Structure 1
Amino acid sequence: MSITHINQLDELDLQILDILIKDCRTPYLEIARICHVSGGTIHVRMKKMEDLGIIKGTRILLDLPKLGYDVCCFVGIYVDKTSSFSYVIEEMKNIKEIVELHLTTGDYSIFAKVVCKSISHLQEILMNSINNIQGIQRTDTFISLSQPIDRNIHL
């Protein structure tokens, strides 16, 4: 969150965000009760934080292994030249197994989080999708063995 946005938030806004981080399905009236304000106040504060881009929406959290996606990995991607970035990113948006994409410093130009149903599915994604994108020089893949921490930041 930028300094500009944090300066526009007060303790009530931070309290609302903390409640929503714990459970984004908490009804506005329940938030109002916890914060000792009216439901209308919560609506106004939520609208303000949405307009500022602090709240971008809500997401459902899925248990991916229960849906058959048993492999999670990270792919470090070397892009051959700066002018290839836009094209590579646009092409990677079309690969549904890529669930996060980060532009990075260090050894890799791009770091992607990929979920797959199996190692053979991962191999297919790497060989037939990711590595076939023009502008990708090469990749390094790291398979996640487990995820002992999975949390949002608490304010």
Structure 2
Amino acid sequence: MDLNVPGLDELDYQILEILIKDSRIPYLEIARNCHVSGGTIHVRMNKMQEMGLIKGARLILDTSKLGYDVCCFIGIYLNKASSYPDVLEQLKEIKEIVELHYTTGAYSIFVKVMCKSISNLQDLLMNRLQVISGVQSTDTFITLSQPIDRNISF
């Protein structure tokens, strides 16, 4: 286990490893697994939140059960790098975009999109994304399966 993060020790990493597997586990159960008090876990959690290491908890949905059957990634080419702030503001308004990365390499922006159907994706591309001033063109990659979906582990 790499303990090079200032302010973290072995117990902090044990807590993180447990939470990565199940973020809903009660503090008292974490305490039992780590052989410390519940108060100790509470103090450690507060410390890691104050450090910005833990940013909250998320609900993970099975989006296909909500009708979002099309997952894809879209590489966005910008006309010029200075267009990024304005394009970003407009992309924030597209609810199907669930991740956005400003990148180096072939694309200026790389987004993950969840759509209900191919026609929903086509509408997004033609009528909402490619019409944004500053977007030169896009490349779309439709996900066929996602055999690995995990957080980093220690």
Q: TM-score, normalised by structure 2?
A: 0.96
Map of 1:20 onto structure 2: 19
Map of 1:58 onto structure 2: 57
SS in structure 2 of the partner of residue 132 of structure 1: coil
Map of 1:77 onto structure 2: 76
How far 1:133 moved relative to its partner? 1.2
Map of 1:100 onto structure 2: 99
Counterparts of 2:7 and 2:96 in 1: how far apart (Å)?
A: 37
Identical pairs, percent: 68
Counterparts of 2:89 and 2:41 in 1: how far apart (Å)?
A: 38
Map of 1:33 onto structure 2: 32
User: In angstroms, what is the RMSD of aligned CA positions?
Assistant: 1.2
Counterparts of 1:54 and 1:30 in 2: how far apart (Å)?
A: 21
Letter in 1 for 2:18: I
Divergent runs of 4+, >4 A: none
2:120 equivalent to 1:141: no
Counterparts of 2:152 and 2:122 in 1: how far apart (Å)?
A: 33
Aligned length: 152
Give CA-to-partner distance per residue, 1:57-81, whole Å, 9 cap, x none: 0101111111100000000000111
Question: For structure 2, which runs of at least 5 residues remain unmatched after alignment?
Answer: none
Map of 2:44 onto structure 1: 45
